Amino acid sequence: LETAGAKVKVLLGDISTQEDVAKIFQQIQASLPPLKGVIHAAGVLDDGLVQNLSWQQFTKVMAPKVAGTWYLHQLTQDLPLDFFVCFSSIASLLGNPGQGNYAAANGFMDAIAHYRRGQGLPGLSINWGAWASAGMAARLASGHQQRLEASGMSAIELERGMQALGSLLSDSPSQVGVLPINWSKFVSQLPSGKKIPFLEALISAEPSFTKKSAFREQLEAATVSERQELLTTHLRSIIAKTLGLQDIQKIEMRQPLFDLGLDSLMAVELKNRLESSLETSLRSTLLFDYPTLEKLIDYLSVEVLSLELAVVLDQQEAEEVDQSNLQKEIEQLSELEAQNILLQELDNMNF
């Protein structure tokens, strides 16, 4: 900015502390040209499943986005601003496993943008996807980034993100989501039967939304003896994908999956993937209740798939046994015995 001729002044403060924000505005008023715009880009992450989050993890993440946005709004509402932009996240638009606190914090920013517009004030909340190269998403562990990619989202390149910001500053609705996303891939990862009404317009245009799970079709078409093997291989490959393992044979039948690196976020992801491929809804404690491959196979094949599979299996097996017994009996009959049975049957039919 300075090479482009701008003067840059950095005023430090905690955005979630009213006195700090007020002090910054006093400094601006005393020594700088009139304030014409606000871009609120302060934020922190502290991820975890909602049931595991401490209150401190909540308040820490909420502080800059809730208190901070509110103080900025309060202290600028009488100023003739050109723009008031909140850097929100896709987490408050689509949700993200492990980011309940962050989604709620960003949801507040989204609401403030709408509220300000309603008051005739400038207001824009941008629900950014993950930015590439720099920032909080780029600093996340590679496992988290792989998870994002697997869900169909890719990162926003710096230049394209800045272009989007530029065009949104000149004209936009009060809330806009910006993220490169492959909707087919995103939808195929959703738990079976899960609908997001908010995305209906996009969803109806996607053929894969109505497509039956390929694995379930394969499982149904397989013979009884092939099914167990198919399910085992399928589970192994989904577990390996979730854990980022190359060799699926590393997943031993009785080894606890948490020993292989599965964490609680991955457990949710794995459950979602299984729901999607098996077209069924599964309990949220699945991986905690059935923590090994062997236990998962037993549970899924008996408790989850059995109602649809075992009945069919039993009937098929019984029919196969009946037919082979009948054939043996016929083969053992003498010609005279066979003739007598035939005559008896014809007699019964009044032939």
Ligand X SMILES: NC(=O)c1ccc[n+]([C@@H]2O[C@H](COP(=O)([O-])OP(=O)(O)OC[C@H]3O[C@@H](n4cnc5c(N)ncnc54)[C@H](OP(=O)(O)O)[C@@H]3O)[C@@H](O)[C@H]2O)c1
Which residues form the interface with ligand X (CB under 6 A)?
14-16, 41-44, 63-64, 68, 87, 89, 128, 130-131, 135-137
Which residue's CB is nearer to ligand X, number 64 or number 98?
64
Q: Is the dihedral of CA 21, 26, 27, 28 positive or negative?
A: positive
Beta bridge partners of 181: 153
In the complex with ligand X, the residue whose CB is nearer, 71 or 215, is 71
Q: Judged by CB, which is closer to ligand X: 130, or 287?
A: 130
Q: Say if CB 153 and CB 186 are below 8 A apart.
A: yes
Minimum separation from the CB atom of position 242 to ligand X (A): 22
* Smallest separation, CB 64 to ligand X (Å): 4
Q: Which is nearer to ligand X, 88 or 301 (CB)?
A: 88
SS (H, E, C) 179-237: CCECHHHHHHCCCCCCCCHHHHHHHCCCHHHCCCCHHHHHHHHCCHHHHHHHHHHHHHH
The pair phi, psi for residue 181, each rounded to 5°, is -145, 140
In this complex, which beta carbon is closest to ligand X, that of residue 99 or of residue 188? 99
Task: Indicate the residue among 109 and 238 with the shorter CB distance to ligand X.
Answer: 109
- Residue 63: CB minimum distance to ligand X, A: 6
Residue 21 CB, nearest approach to ligand X (Å): 9
- Shortest CA distance to 234 belongs to which of 221, 223, 218, 245? 218
Closest to ligand X by CB, 14 or 46? 14
- Residue 177 has phi, psi (to 5 degrees) of -95, 135
Smallest gap from Cβ 46 to ligand X, in A, equals 11
Q: Which residue is nearest to ligand X (CB)?
A: 135
CB of 269 to ligand X, least distance (A): 19
Rounded least distance, CB 197 to ligand X, Å: 23
Rama region for 234: left / alpha / beta (φ>0; ψ in -120 to 50; rest): alpha
CB of 260 to ligand X, least distance (A): 29
87 vs 290, beta carbon nearer ligand X: 87
Least distance (Å) between residue 285 CB and ligand X: 30
Is 127 or 301 the residue whose CB approaches ligand X more closely? 127
